[in-house]
Structures are given as C-alpha cells and as structure tokens.
Structure 1
C-alpha cells in the first residue's frame, strides 16, 4: 500500500506501566516495528466534515498510505488507530515517518484508483526524531486548516487515565470541557490544546460535555465507560468537533465529542 510503516515506540517505562496494569485493562495494539533514531510517528485525524460525506485518502509525500476513508456513522476516522465516537479500531497505532519535513495531503480519489481527484487539504510540517504527533484537520473548503500536536510517550500510573483537550470547532472562540460536573478544561480557543490532566478510573462520572466558554448549557454530551472506567493507563485526546449550530444526528457536521487513542 505504501512505504510507510505502522509503529509503536516501546520504552522501558511503557513496559513497566503495562505490567503494572490489570490484564483485563491491557492496551491493545497492532503488530509493530521499532522506530530508528531517524524516524518519528504521526497519526492523521481529518475532522473537516462535509454534509455529502465524501470518501478520501491520505498521502504522505505523495505516497498513498490509507485506503478510502470517510466519516463512519457520522464520526471521523483517525488513521491509523482509532478511538471512541470515531471510526477505526481500538488501537493507538501511528505511522512511522522520516524525521524531517513531510507533506501530508487529504484528497478525494478517482474511483478505483490511488490518483487524486479533488484536493481537500494539505499540510507540510517538520517532524523531530523520537516524537509522536497527531495532525488534525478542521473546518471546510477554503477555510480548512491544520494543527500538529505532540503526543505523550508516557503512560500514567495504574488506576488513572491521562487526557488533553483540543477545540476543533471553528465557530466557537472558546470551549469548556466537563467530565460530569467537573470542569477539566476551560476556555480553550479554536485550535487550542489544554494542559494534560489525569482522571482516576473510579471517577463518579463517565459523561463528557462541551460548553461554549462560560456557559452553563451543554452543547453536546457523550457517555462512555470505556473513556474512563475501563481505560487504565490509557493516554487519550478529547476533541470537540463540528459546528456549534448543527445538532442533527445524521449530519456529519454536527457538534460532537470524540476521544482519540494515543497510547
């Protein structure tokens, strides 16, 4: 399919953290290869939702690295890997890329080919050796924009889950994130990234909510035990996506929350 490889960076601290966790909470991942000192890792999350929900593929340096993807059941598909309220699987996989400048493009393919039909988005970024990145695309058409985020390489202590929050809603200047009644991120601007925070797996609530900054009204809620209670030592990114004015469940542009598996 491409010259790019799936990978996971394995470190002694990560191995000891896995051993400390309960077997039923073991993290799942695909078969991996070790990365070299000249390589980095990247995951691509295309949240630029279109009402028509077109199929798209991903290329790195003009080489196709994915099959045809789309918003599965109205949710974006991280590639590679997956998350909650997303398409994809239950793994935290990344692609291994050269530690240098790389161009990543999103395009609609000609049917049955690997050739581009309509370019939807492109981003050129420099990746440093040994680092793990997520590249997010948001907004649509001429306003499409990207955000490159460095992801954590370290799992939290047993009994905890580590998160960060990203606001990918173009029509809101700031978003608050709640877990139950606990405000875990405040007034995060568009394309802003919150400080990391940890939540115990025995937390009283597993319901996430997004609000316009300072508001007492939920724009959207998402409840999932897998986001907290059964995710011992996971590292995840919570994203607010879509447009605040769209709520119809069948519309891929709707306001929503997703969680991306990083580790």
Structure 2
C-alpha cells in the first residue's frame, strides 16, 4: 500500500536537513498496522444490468453499494473506482463476509446474495475475488504474499480465470503465451514479465493457436507504466454475451 507524499515546502527551508530538487516527490512504503489483516476486493459479478452490491463483515456494513466490475477499496484498470493499491485493515480471525443488495438511500438489506467465511491471519494481506451472479455467486481468497521489493524493469502478474462458461483459458501478453490452461476459478503463481508503457493482453480457449491480440476471444490494451508493479489480472464476464456482461480483462492493482 503506497502513499505519495508531495513536497509542498520550498527547498530553501529544507537545505539544513537535506538537499532537494524542485518538482520532486518521494514514495514511502506502508505496511499494515501491527496485528491487523489487510484485505481488498475485486467484484466481478457481472449482471445483465448494473446491480450495486454492498459488502458486510460480520454483519457490519463494510462498503457502500458498488456495482461490478469494481476494485475496493483500491481499484485497478478496466474497473470502477480509483487506480491505487489500497487495502482495508481489519481484525484477523474467522470473518464472515456477506454480499447483499440494499434499499436505495437506507441501510436495510433488500436481498442476501452470497456469504462466505474466511480465516484471516494477522499481519497478512489478502485479495477476495467475486464472480458469477445470484445463486451461483462464488468467491476466491488469495493471499498476497508478495516480494518486499521488485527488480526495476519488471512487473509481476497473478492471473485468475473468472469467466464461468469459459472452460480453461490461455493468456497472452502481446503475441506471447504467459499462462496456459487456466481453469475457471484457478489462479497462477506470480509471473515476472518485462515492464512497459503499453501492452495488449488477450485470452483464447486453451490449446487454440495464438496470433495477433485483436484476433483473440478478448483483448485489452493496458496503457500505463508497469515498472515494479504487482497486478491480479482477471478474465471476467461471460463468453458470447454483450455489454455489460461481455468477456474482457481487468487488472486489480496490488502494489
């Protein structure tokens, strides 16, 4: 979880402490408060119409009503929300999470959609991914056990298939296969890839021939500097569907 501290004090006031340059900033790496668990959510329950969902933790409201696709509290690319790697700090232990629709403007549950219980450890990070809809809603718990530092010139990607009717999928970066035969709800280990300022990511049915990204089942162009970043890449939606349930790729920012 990163917080950028921008210098708003002129350099002459800082000379006695250290040298400084105009228009620079520093980055400080923050870890979780001692004894807490850090969590974030990727909501990819793709309904035919926008359906705001509210997250509850042990029957206490944890989020506002948010519609998929959404990263909460930190977002990502091709999702709603921001583009930060934020997590929520909560008490560890056995935690029951509920997903529900609520009546507009009041905090009363209209319909219970899904619930699950996870045992979360102290001083650990997790990403919880949700997929499918209604009675078929499901979730995945991923422990975010990432390296403390990353090599410059590289990014790390963890890939999850959340398309319920897809079978297994192959994932490509540009024209190169990066993960093969990823089953529904399966997640790869971290994959180290060269960083860049723009890449095309694509998915194909497992075992089918490769080719230009534009000829794949889905392709998504990520136009951002990925250097020393960590992402959870998700295939989401449904094959042979139209917006907003069309199959596509989203990326949750983990670091």
Asked if TM exceeds 0.5, the reply is yes
Q: 1:191 aligns with which of 185, 198, 201?
A: 185
- Alignment TM-score, normalising by the size of structure 1: 0.81
Q: How does 1:18-167 map to 2 (within 5 A)?
A: 34-37=32-35, 39-71=36-68, 76-154=69-147, 155-167=149-161
Structure having the higher strand fraction is 2
Q: How does 1:202-213 map to 2 (within 5 A)?
A: 202=196, 206-213=199-206
SS at match of 1:78: strand
- Alignment TM-score, normalising by the size of structure 2: 0.83
Q: What is the CA–CA distance in structure 1 between the aligned matches of 2:163 and 2:31, rounded to whole Å?
A: 35
Q: Is the 8 A contact 1:25 1:232 kept in 2?
A: no
Q: What is the CA–CA distance in structure 2 between the aligned matches of 1:175 and 1:123, rounded to whole Å?
A: 26
Q: 1:255 aligns with which of 224, 247, 252?
A: 247
Q: Is the 8 A contact 1:25 1:231 kept in 2?
A: no
Aligned residues: 230
Deviation of 1:242 after TM superposition, in Å, equals 0.9
Q: What is the CA–CA distance in structure 2 between the aligned matches of 1:25 and 1:211, rounded to whole Å?
A: 41
Q: Is the 8 A contact 1:172 1:244 kept in 2?
A: yes
Q: Which residue matches 2:19? A: none
Moved over 4 A (4+): 23-29
Q: What is the CA–CA distance in structure 2 between the aligned matches of 1:34 and 1:163, rounded to whole Å?
A: 22
- Gaps of at least 5 residues in structure 2 are 4-22, 210-214
Larger radius of gyration: 2
Change (3 A) 1:202 1:144: closer
Q: 1:224 aligns with which of 222, 225, 233?
A: 222
User: How much is the aligned-residue C-alpha RMSD, in angstroms?
Assistant: 2.4
